[in-house]
Amino acid sequence: MNNLKEIYEDVAVYSKDTYEANHKLERDIADMIEPYTTKLSGNEKEVLEDVFYDVCAEGKYVGFCIGMKYCFRLILELLSD
Q: Write the pLDDT tens digit of every residue in 35-52.
A: 988 888 889 989 998 999
Residue range 44-72: mean pLDDT, rounded = 89
Q: Is the pLDDT of residue 1 over 60?
A: no
What's the pTM value of the predicted model, to 2 decimals?
0.69
- The average confidence (pLDDT) of the chain is 85
Q: Is the model's pLDDT at 6 over the cut of 70?
A: yes
State the distance between the two ends of the chain, measured CA to CA, in whole angstroms: 29
Question: Whats the size of the chain, residue-wise?
Answer: 81
Q: Which residues of 17-56 are buried (b: 16+ CB within 10 A; e: fewer)?
A: eeeeeeeebeeebeeeeeeeeeeeeeeebeebbeebeeee
State the alpha helices, DSSP H only, in the chain: 4-8, 18-33, 42-80
pLDDT at 2: 59
Between residues 14 and 41, the one the model is more confident about: 41
